[in-house]
Amino acid sequence: MPRRDRSWAEQRLTEVLRVRGMSRQTERAYRGWVARYLSFHQGRELRALNTEDIERYLTMLAVETGVAAATQNQALSAILFFHRHVLEQAGRPALEQVVRARATKRLPTVLSVGEVRRLLRALPPGVQMIARLMYGTGLRLNEALRLRVKDVDLEQRLIFVRRGKRGQDRSTLLPKTLVPLLERKLDAVKQRHEKDLARDAGWVELPHVLARKAPRLARSYAWQWLFPAGRIYFHEETQQHRRHHVHPTTVQRAITQAAREVGLTKKATAHTLRHSFATHLLQDNVDLRTIQRLLGHRDIRTTQVYTHVVLDLQGGITSPLDRLDLDE
């Protein structure tokens, strides 16, 4: 594949992803998969790539690298996006016939209320606030970390998620117990931001379109991250001194360490808090449609997995062994 063609394709992919408002995380993932896909087919003309080439690459992923079905499907989504919107092959019926890998269905790991309490208490203060918010609202980790000051409505006790999974917006409840904590957090963010402004910093990253139309918002208090990182970095492209939000690995490592310290035998991750949020709401008889909306699930079947967890936890069925009275 000529270098010029590949360079054009990767640049065009970035442009299309940004025009469609894809998140930076999705952009990085798609660009990575397309780069690997093009390297695998190095020497082929761009326009000559077809469904057979896609299937050969997916077969290589499955056989030689042994990646999970979910990883194969993410790669396929990126490659199909590339064929449809960069190579402009959306009208080819064969693209719709590429078979996705069948992912194994797993029940989510759920902590009991007592286990969540022990885990949260063991976390360092900065991470504990983030973890409390995830368990109290059902947010994904990246959704929590990408919250801006303007996304918190203390009076109406709402959290607004902007451009969540699949680029969708939604709102979710804000627990009463977090209101005073978030009031203090917002005050701390404001004070830090004022200090940053005084040292010719105070910039944050904005969504692509907004960065072009209203770049000054990047220094406004309303657009600052709710959970800003501890250090400032220099963004060469804009010549700005910016502050990013807390990195996801900081939270993930703290949760893993805390789970180990309190002796949890279950695998506890940041996403486990989201699973526990949904399951505990079901146990409190909150209807499934409400939980679907709070979680931001597109399909009710995704939310229904928690009904199986609740059934296992609450029982309601008597085992034949319990009727035998073997200990008498």
Inter-residue contact 190 to 225 (CB < 8 Å): no
Inter-residue contact 38 to 9 (CB < 8 Å): yes
Q: Active site includes 57?
A: no
Q: Which of 89, 123, 76 is nearest to 246 (CA)?
A: 123
**Active-site residue, selected from the candidate residues 31, 92, 150, 271:** 271
Q: Which of 188, 193, 51 is nearest to 125 (CA)?
A: 188
Rounded CA separation 77/74 (Å): 5
Q: Active site includes 275?
A: no
Inter-residue contact 142 to 155 (CB < 8 Å): no
Rounded CA separation 316/159 (Å): 36
| Residue in the block written with tokens 């798609």 | 30
Would you call 165 helix, strand, or coil by DSSP?
Answer: helix
Q: Active site includes 308?
A: no
Q: Active site includes 140?
A: yes
**Active-site residue, selected from the candidate residues 146, 274, 275, 280:** 274
Would you call 148 helix, strand, or coil by DSSP?
Answer: strand
**Active-site residue, selected from the candidate residues 30, 37, 57, 306:** 306
**Active-site residue, selected from the candidate residues 140, 148, 275, 280:** 140
Q: Active site includes 233?
A: no
Q: Active site includes 271?
A: yes
**Active-site residue, selected from the candidate residues 165, 170, 192, 241:** 165
Q: Which of 313, 227, 248 is nearest to 275 (CA)?
A: 313
Active site residues: 140, 165, 271, 274, 297, 306
